[in-house]
A and B are shown apart, each in its own frame.
Chain A
């Protein structure tokens, strides 16, 4: 039987998995509930977005950051990028994530160090993402 990709259980599982991979911590229940509603409201009728095989990514616990980056560069209008963006919007509106988005201290050296690190890391993620997309046919 085919799974309902907009079912509460599927979306909640998805949100939990994405959240852990991106923010590296457990997800508050409110974000999970809002993620389900936002997906239904925004993505249910979005024919211009390229579909992505979410169940495969979740089943194999694939590197979602790498896959998204590779897909974004190839097909910017894809469902995975939008889903991760939804999660970021939801996180940004809660004060537990304030420090993830906003820099409150003057720390230029830390900023340059982290940005340099993430630039190299992004190159690695891009290569990894391309391999995963090619090997598993996620789109």
Chain B
């Protein structure tokens, strides 16, 4: 059977392209692991559940102790280690192994991809951030607007509006927890002083409902994000997929790992391995849209060319964690109503830095206390005391650094078909020191020695391997409209086509850019 368009992947890029092409005859191919069912419904907040349930280990730790993976494996975000969120990273090492000694990234083959466990921050790129892109903010704005009403974004007009752009269609901002509210109040009082340091603080833009949207109910502030998958109030690409799947012209086939494509006179032939039978099947379409995520999309393109030598650039938002303590909250009671994700956004922007650096401030209330236990500097019983009394006073500022192509950071296909990635760790410290000294003025304290710098790849924000160019010149560059150079029918719509990776979470721009490319593709199909 032949389709007009085959879309590879059901993450934010794939579903956004499908949304734009929803009146065409589409096949979405995906591995598509789904979330397992919780053993019982979680109707209370995290702390009431912990207090009222004799044994919550099936939900918090898992039958196979999935939440304890961090004890013996490399660092993995707490967002990805909860037993019912393991679907996000399920089997990725078997399905697409990566050989690397310095890159600790991962892939997702879940339905909805990494949006099953994302921080849900949604930010528009402005012209400063798009400076090396062959497009301008004005090209993306109509798609940002449409997505805003489609997925539901909360936020408001404040200090960060110059960085975040239009407030059109936003739902009211999220309720801040006690610590973040205190930080925001202090910042509001000393705004002028702090902004002289190039630091601006404001409410985040998050794909979280503070009001009902269609059938989706507003967020309940139960703080269960690390343990409960698919909260309808927090956007997940699989929600859009579910809606699209109901249309007769859209077919979703899960269980397929796309391996390569080949252009024919009429379109494209796509080869995909059925992961249940291990048999390779072929699918035909007029156009192919690659939306498998930067690394998987690059692998498909390299495999299609049988290219085992080319090094494609790889961009990654390096991250730094700065713990901040507000001593006035030591010994405060634990808040039970909260959102585990980003509470406030912090932007560092000065003339001497090339691009703004964005950070997210949040509290650790949503993770297991034992995750923090060995981060305190006392003996175990002392640490148990610290984790009990200091956690309500503890916040974390997570900084994301922008990235640009660099010959030392690349991915390539090995002769055995596995991916090989090299990524040089960046030098940190100066910006963190600046943040620490500035936050001291807000009575939030830290030390440079307490900052943590996870290995490259831990942001899970990858980009740049097949960049869009005004005049693409190699088969690993794409046109402004996402068409891979030298092909007639193959489009790249995920972040692989970003020539640059700004500090802001790139998911919203991936979605808007994917829709933009799909919009051109639709016009081409109609012509």
Chain A hits for B373, CB < 8 A: 85, 88
Whether A6 sits at the interface, judged by CB under 8 Å, is no
Let me know if A93 and B380 touch, CB within 8 A.
no
Chain A hits for B386, CB < 8 A: 115, 118
Contact of B333 among A85, A96, A101, A104 (CB under 8 A): A104
Query: A101-115: contact bitstring with B at CB < 8 Å (1 yes, 0 no)?
Result: 111111111111011
Query: B311-347: contact bitstring with A at CB < 8 Å (1 yes, 0 no)?
Result: 0000000000000000010111110000000000000
Considering only residues 348-396 of chain B, those with a C-beta below 8 Å from chain A are: 368-370, 373-374, 377-382, 384-392
Let me know if B381 and A86 touch, CB within 8 A.
no
Contact of B330 among A68, A94, A115 (CB under 8 A): A115
Chain A hits for B331, CB < 8 A: 103, 106-112
**Complex Cα distance A80/B51, Å?**
29
Give the distance to chain B from A39, nearest Cβ to Cβ, in Å.
10
Chain A hits for B61, CB < 8 A: 89-90, 93
Give the distance to chain A from B227, nearest Cβ to Cβ, in Å.
11
5 A-B pairs with least C-beta separation? A111-B331, A118-B382, A108-B331, A111-B389, A93-B57
Interface-facing stretch out of A8-16, A30-38, A51-59, A131-139: A30-38
**Complex Cα distance A41/B72, Å?**
11
Let me know if B65 and A95 touch, CB within 8 A.
no
Chain B hits for A42, CB < 8 A: 65, 68, 71-72
Contact of B379 among A30, A49, A69, A114 (CB under 8 A): A69
Let me know if A92 and B369 touch, CB within 8 A.
yes
Whether A130 sits at the interface, judged by CB under 8 Å, is no
With A110-B331, A114-B389, A118-B378 as known contacts, state yes or no: A89 contacts B368, CB within 8 Å: yes
Considering only residues 10-62 of chain B, those with a C-beta below 8 Å from chain A are: 47, 50-57, 60-61
Whether B459 sits at the interface, judged by CB under 8 Å, is no
Let me know if A122 and B389 touch, CB within 8 A.
no
Let me know if A90 and B380 touch, CB within 8 A.
no
Whether B67 sits at the interface, judged by CB under 8 Å, is yes
Query: B482-505: contact bitstring with A at CB < 8 Å (1 yes, 0 no)?
Result: 000000000000000000000000
Which has the most chain A C-beta neighbours within 10 Å: B61, B373, B377, B382? Answer: B382
Let me know if B71 and A34 touch, CB within 8 A.
no
Give the distance to chain A from B247, nearest Cβ to Cβ, in Å.
43
**Complex Cα distance A30/B378, Å?**
28
Let me know if A114 and B385 touch, CB within 8 A.
yes
Give the distance to chain A from B51, nearest Cβ to Cβ, in Å.
5
Chain A hits for B374, CB < 8 A: 72, 76, 81, 85
Give the distance to chain A from B385, nearest Cβ to Cβ, in Å.
5
Please, how many residues of chain B have a CB less than 8 angstroms from a CB on the other chain? 43
Interface of chain B, helix or strand or loop or mixed? Answer: helix
Give the distance to chain A from B87, nearest Cβ to Cβ, in Å.
19
**Complex Cα distance A129/B137, Å?**
60
Chain A hits for B330, CB < 8 A: 108, 111-112, 115
Give the distance to chain B from A32, nearest Cβ to Cβ, in Å.
13
**Complex Cα distance A115/B374, Å?**
15
Chain B hits for A129, CB < 8 A: 379
Let me know if A84 and B380 touch, CB within 8 A.
yes
With A95-B54, A111-B389, A115-B330 as known contacts, state yes or no: A121 contacts B72, CB within 8 Å: no
Give the distance to chain A from B187, nearest Cβ to Cβ, in Å.
23
Let me know if A103 and B55 touch, CB within 8 A.
no
**Complex Cα distance A104/B48, Å?**
11
User: Taking CB as reference atom, which chain B residue is nearest A18?
Assistant: B380
Let me know if B381 and A103 touch, CB within 8 A.
no
Whether B64 sits at the interface, judged by CB under 8 Å, is yes
**Complex Cα distance A48/B388, Å?**
30
**Complex Cα distance A92/B391, Å?**
15
Give the distance to chain B from A127, nearest Cβ to Cβ, in Å.
11
Contact of B72 among A22, A49, A65 (CB under 8 A): A49
Give the distance to chain B from A33, nearest Cβ to Cβ, in Å.
11
Considering only residues 99-152 of chain B, those with a C-beta below 8 Å from chain A are: none
With A38-B65, A115-B389 as known contacts, state yes or no: A102 contacts B380, CB within 8 Å: no
Chain B hits for A115, CB < 8 A: 330, 382, 385-386, 389-390
